[in-house]
Structure 1
């Protein structure tokens, strides 16, 4: 009975111990021991009270009996009556106390089971909220439990830490881990792995390495997952040798250190490919096969991607075929890697054929697949096939992201097809996709190409009305259009607006203004602006010089034109390392 009572209240306040005059502010790991101690104290106290009551009753009975013997007959009868009355009252008091204790025990059992059920429900809710991204509600419930003196387990704390790391609140996550070290529950290796991964995700490798070094002081040994996280972070920063040294240091006491880890080996192989060390990557691959490491699709994807980046498509195709021979089916990442490499080489037809093969293998093209192919088609100028793929996405109930719409709108604008450009924008809106700054820049380019300067300016105002602020590209397009129609004053006004908004004019901005000055015959202003370009160090191509050179040749001033050319050559020499 006592054991049942103890284990029924592992998380709440034991209400049946009525002699406690305070509540627990936090539940420690020694809570069970404290409850056991208080339970034994309660039993001891009840025994003491019972012995005291029994001895007191015996003394009273002896005293009354003595009175009865020492007094006369009449008084003796009253003394006997008093003794019996005292014994009856004491018996009734003991019976009442026993009844109350039984009721309290019953109530304590009920509350204990209810608290246990409530604890499990609350912790499960916190974990579910963290996984669903509702961290605010999870932290609120977690705080409510702490206010009641209930501390959740380490598994629930890990969910809180993970949720904070996902939204970038690493300081808060670090604070939770420090509180766990001070107040409990004790963090485990998963806790540190979560926090280390969070810091690595925001390029805080130094802080991640510091946490790694403090794990052993907290009595927690890093595992292979810790190594994978840190090795990947170090390799991403190009610190390949540091990653190897750290791996050797961590695994020096590991009994399985001679067994290659597939994940870590894959990360190292990817780093070799990024550094252009193809031979080292292949040696590592062969070593993995010789050690009977069971490679997976991810390892093959890294290998195929490395060869595609190195423009060795024959090897990439060869290892893709090897995957089939080993019973590994390529996934969407495998096909996207090959399709992207084909589009970069301008082999659009082969890329489209690969998309067909991908579909026939039962792997549906995703957003990335369509984006790669549509971009390749737009660069190749094949607007009809690009628009066909866009409709394929919509027919497959896949709403394209703004980037895909922008590519097609931009291509229509470059072909001066203003109606189709705006029709595509309207389709974009009808599917619930909001235009962004790049969308408006593509439409402004379409207006400029068609010679509709006022329409381009109206689009800029429309951007501002929708809380989309024009960028450098927007202003450069409008400045160039204003210079083309001889509106140099408006072009300078746009330049001033650009500077007021905090944008720094680039070489294209100054080139358009130089051309505008030359069109209006303001050669002095054009030369001053060119000198400003030279002084700023922005001059890295020949366009501004060519504009001035051609203008002075038309003005029959070849010496001045040649001097500008000489100045440009000198600036190019000074910019060389």
Structure 2
């Protein structure tokens, strides 16, 4: 049974949607369109074996891991190891057991194991594995450098590069340091190399990485200084990628005017022709800021540069209109792009779904979703997330459940946000066993559930007397790393409802307020002023006891 024909209070979803006034949106007919969500990168057998190996590594004791892995009868392969490492957060002991089980029978295992050990911050074990398999390969050193940078150990990353003594890894080192917020350490290391060898000069790739790192960490003065230095450099010339990096960084920093200056003045002076990479960020930043006249004027200039607007250009415009709540403007852009032969993608329609979800327009959103599916578009994970969120907030739990079921039936894997939403939805439907199974599935897939989701589900299971399942839930939560902080808006047990004690306090306060109102009404009937003052004092005392007690 199709979700879109499900009844709700005796009416079909189609009839509800068709009765809602909705701006005309052109929908191309694409019956043979391929799904937009990514296809599985591994076979079902590999995923099944990876799940088995992960279960053994997380549930068995360290002393029994090797024997338990051998008892599975699974033959290790590079695809299997990659699936295991990328789908779970393993301890150092479990990772070493995985290495011993696969070493000698699986080529290319060392970089994968070194990366996993670095992820677990077990760098001594990572070096042991690396040095026990000569000759050491560059991918292993590259993985170690990136993990040191991510662990906020820039000095160790630099020493690893120097030990590897491989020039090909220099850009990897600088890129890792800049991406993880260590641009100052990377800058100091380059300055030191220049001091030791005055004839040495960084490559243009290195300059591009520094520009990206400075702009990403919002060090705009450093980026401008490096930009001026690059203009004076004689041995290195900026490329279109350099200009694109600078323009994109400025646009992300909400400075499209400076980006336009670089595009129209400095690129022309350098004799470099603009392309979509340099022009699209400007359109995106102007549309994001609600400057639609300037954004559309920038698009009109594309033919002067010898380029044409692409799907990214139009998606930026539609995103800007949707952010400002202008569905009619988004519809005009949609019609224009289809007229020019550019078909919208699922991402295009996700911007509209996000708008309807934000404004609580359930009928319009479901109308869009229905027409989207009917036109041959396959909703992706974000589409389902927005639709389910919109339905849950509108208390359409039955439809939300059907959308989630359809999502699973089409093989769209859930992430942290979607999985958490499903657990909360099942709890609201009072289907706690299914909620527990979904929670367990998230942990098995390597997704660390939110602590708030765990607290809510544990409270519900304890309230129903399911102590054994609540203990299993606690063990599952203990096997993953996550923040134990709760949001300030969290009011305690369950779905945020008031506890029994708070309900009693509220009842006392309501009685006190009723007493105060009755005294006010009686004041005109001859009640002495002193009695009214005494009653008011009594109400204030009760109020203080309610909130201070």
**Bin of the TM-score, shorter chain as denominator length:** 0.5 to 0.7
Asked if the contact 2:142–2:169 (Cα under 8 Å) also holds between the matched residues in 1, the reply is no
Inter-partner Cα distance in structure 2 for 1:123 and 1:227:
40
Cα 1:344–1:478 change in 2 (3 A) is closer
**Contact map agreement 1:164 1:173 (CA 8 A) in 2:** yes
Aligned pair partner of 2:270 in 245, 254, 257: 254
Residue in structure 1 matching 2:346, options 320, 332, 353: 332
1:126 matches 2:138:
yes
Kept in 1, the 8 Å contact 2:388–2:400? The answer is: yes
Change (3 A) 1:208 1:300: same
- Please name the residue that 2:6 is paired with: none
SS in 1 for 2:290: coil
Quote how far apart the aligned CAs of 1:334 are. Answer: 1.4
Q: Does 1:170 align with 2:133?
A: no
**RMSD over aligned Cα atoms:** 4.8
* Corresponding residue number in structure 2 for 1:198: 213
Name 1:575's counterpart in structure 2: none
> Distance in 1 between the 2:203 and 2:349 partners?
39
SS in 1 for 2:301: helix
CA shift at 1:170, angstroms? 2.6
Deviations 1:133-185 (A, max 9, x none): 86669977743453xxxx62xx6422332233334433343244334534375
Secondary structure, in 3 states, of the residue corresponding to 2:315? helix
Is the Cα–Cα contact under 8 Å of residues 444 and 477 in structure 1 kept in the other structure? Answer: no
What is the deviation of 1:130? 4.2
Q: In the alignment, is the contact (CA less than 8 A) between 1:164 and 1:170 conserved in 2?
A: yes
2:441 to 430, 434, 439: 430
CA distance in 1, matches of 2:475, 2:137: 46
State the distance in 1 between where 2:347 and 2:192 align: 41
Aligned equivalent of 1:550: 513
1:476 aligns with 2:491: yes
Distance (Å, rounded) in 2 between the aligned partners of 1:551 and 1:206:
63
Tell me what 1:105 maps to.
none
Counterpart contact for 2:392–2:425, Cα < 8 Å: yes
Matched, 1:305 2:319: yes
* Equivalent position of 2:113 in the other structure: none
- Matches for 1:235-254 after TM superposition, within 5 Å: 235-247=251-263, 250-251=266-267, 253-254=269-270
Kindly name which structure, 1 or 2, has the bigger radius of gyration based on alpha carbons: 1
1:143 corresponds in structure 2 to 162
Return the offset for 1:307: 1.8
219, 226, 248: which is aligned to 1:232?
Answer: 248
Q: Do the aligned partners of residues 516 and 265 (structure 1) sit closer, same or farther apart at CA in structure 2, a change above 3 Å counting?
A: farther
The aligned residue for residue 14 of structure 1 is none
Cα offsets for 1:332-380 (capped at 9, x unmatched): 3212223222333444455445446555666543221221111112112
Contact 2:516-2:536 at 8 Å conserved across structures: no
Aligned twin of 1:404: 418
Superposed displacement of residue 298, structure 1: 0.4
Output one character per residue of 1:396-450: Cα deviation in whole Å (capped at 9) or x when no partner: 333312322332343455x5x43x14522322313525432231354378689x8
Contact persistence 1:342–1:348 (CA under 8 A): yes
What is the DSSP-based 3-state SS (H/G/I as helix, E as strand, rest coil) of the residue aligned with 2:491?
helix
Contact in 1 for aligned 2:171/2:205 (Cα 8 Å)? yes
TM-score, length of structure 2 as denominator length: 0.56
Residues paired across the two proteins, number = 381
- Taking structure 1 as the reference length, the TM-score comes to 0.54
In structure 1, the residue matched to 2:227 is 212
- What is the CA–CA distance in structure 1 between the aligned matches of 2:371 and 2:495, rounded to whole Å? 45
Q: CA deviation at 1:289?
A: 4.8
Structure 1 unaligned blocks of 5 or more: 1-121, 487-511, 522-546, 566-577
- 1:378-527 aligned at under 5 Å gives the runs 378-413=392-427, 415=428, 417-418=429-430, 420-431=431-442, 432=444, 433-443=447-457, 469-473=484-488, 476-478=491-493, 484-486=499-501, 519=507
Q: Tell me whether 1:367 sits opposite 2:381 in the alignment.
A: yes
1:274/1:306 contact within 8 Å kept: yes
Mean Cα deviation higher: 555-564 or 231-240: 555-564
Partners of 1:215 and 1:156 in 2: CA distance: 22
Q: CA deviation at 1:234?
A: 2.6
Q: 1:483 to 1:160 in 2, by over 3 A?
A: closer
Give the structure 1 partner of residue 87 of structure 2. none
Could you tell which deviates more after superposition, 172-181 or 329-338?
A: 172-181
Distance 1:322 1:160, change over 3 A: same
Change in Cα spacing, 1:194 to 1:328, as seen in structure 2 (3 Å) is same
Say which structure, 1 or 2, has more relative contact order (CA 8 Å, 6+ apart): 2
Aligned-partner Cα distance in 1 for 2:319–2:374? 22
8 Å CA contact retained: 1:409, 1:424: yes
Q: Give distance in 1, aligned partners of 2:450 and 2:278.
A: 40
CA 128–484 in structure 1, closer or farther in 2 if over 3 Å, else same:
closer
